[in-house]
Structure formats: structure tokens, C-alpha cells
């Protein structure tokens, strides 16, 4: 009614936005920092993917990545200094002992590629890649 009588627009009180504040997520990933290490992802070469660890812990994959990066600050610093991509590992579906068997058979050089494939049960492309 005041606007209709005077033409003056009403002034509403300003709402203060709730800020998340810096570090609100920091406590979350710091609390999960040792857990990815205690899982089977102890070395980047062998272990679970970040998605599987996140699903087990009930947190986001990004949070597991931040926790992993925080736990491995030295490798992150080296990657940043050289301009290389940070090696966070990869998810291998093949057991590590099978990979070691293939590598040892290839080093021996006594068997052909097809014989190694038949012995290990892996595909030719996997054996070639190793």
C-alpha cells in the first residue's frame, strides 16, 4: 500500500548468504585421508579404482582423489614441478600375480606368444601390452 500511495519502492532487509567458508570440505577429505591408503590401493600400480573406494566409503570420488593427493604430497609436488600429469594409478582387472607370470615368461623367451596366451588364459593384446 505504501508503494501505491507514495511511489516509493519497499526496502527489504538483505539476507546474509551462508558461506561454506574455506576448508569446509577440507576436514572431510582429511578425515578420510588414511582410508584410501589402508584399502587395497597402497601403490599406484596395483589396487582399486577411486570409484570403488568411494563407493565402499560412501563418499564422492573427488573426495577420495583429494585425500589420495593429500596423502601423497611429494608425488604431487614432483608432477607439478616437472609439468607432468600426476600418476594416480589405474584400475587393473587382471590379478598382479598373472601379470608377473606373463612378464617372467616373456623375459625367459622360451615360449611363443600363443603358448603364453594358452598357458595364462589372457588375451594376445594383454600379453603384448606387458
User: If you count DSSP H runs as helices and E runs as strands, how many of each does the chain have, helices first?
Assistant: 9, 0
Q: Are residues 108 and 78 in the same domain?
A: no
Question: Which tens digit of pLDDT belongs to each residue from 16-50?
Answer: 766 655 555 566 667 766 655 554 444 444 567 77
Same domain, 31 and 59: yes
Q: Are 54 and 39 in contact (CB under 8 A)?
A: no
8 lies in some domain: no
Q: Please check whether residues 64 and 32 belong to one and the same domain.
A: yes
Same domain membership, residue 112 and residue 75? no
At residue 125, does pLDDT exceed 70? yes
pLDDT at 35: 57
Same domain, 69 and 32: yes
- Cα separation of 79 and 69, whole Å? 11
| pLDDT of amino acid 44 | 41
48 found inside a domain: yes
The CA distance from 121 to 127, in Å, is 10
The answer to whether residue 45 is domain-embedded is yes
Range of the domain at 52: 26-82
Instruction: Provide the number of structural domains found in the chain.
Output: 2
Average pLDDT over the chain, rounded to whole? Answer: 76
Q: Evaluate whether residue 107 is within a structural domain.
A: yes
Q: Which residue has the higher pLDDT, 85 or 22?
A: 85
Which of 38-47, 82-91, 99-108 shows the lowest per-residue confidence on average (mean pLDDT)? 38-47
Quick check: is 119 in a domain? yes
Amino acid at each position: 500500500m505504501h508503494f501505491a500511495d507514495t511511489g516509493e519502492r519497499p526496502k527489504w532487509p538483505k539476507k546474509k548468504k551462508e558461506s561454506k567458508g574455506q576448508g569446509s570440505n577440507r576436514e572431510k577429505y582429511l578425515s578420510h585421508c588414511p582410508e584410501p591408503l589402508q584399502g587395497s590401493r597402497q601403490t599406484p600400480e596395483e589396487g582399486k579404482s577411486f570409484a570403488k573406494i568411494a563407493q565402499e566409503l560412501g563418499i564422492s570420488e573427488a573426495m577420495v582423489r583429494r585425500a589420495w593427493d593429500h596423502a601423497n604430497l611429494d608425488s604431487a609436488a614432483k608432477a607439478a614441478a616437472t609439468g607432468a600429469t600426476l600418476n594416480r594409478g589405474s584400475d587393473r582387472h587382471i590379478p598382479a600375480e598373472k601379470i608377473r607370470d606373463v612378464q617372467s615368461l616373456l623375459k625367459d623367451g622360451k615360449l611363443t606368444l600363443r603358448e603364453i596366451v594358452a598357458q595364462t588364459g589372457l588375451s594376445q593384446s594383454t600379453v603384448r601390452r606387458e
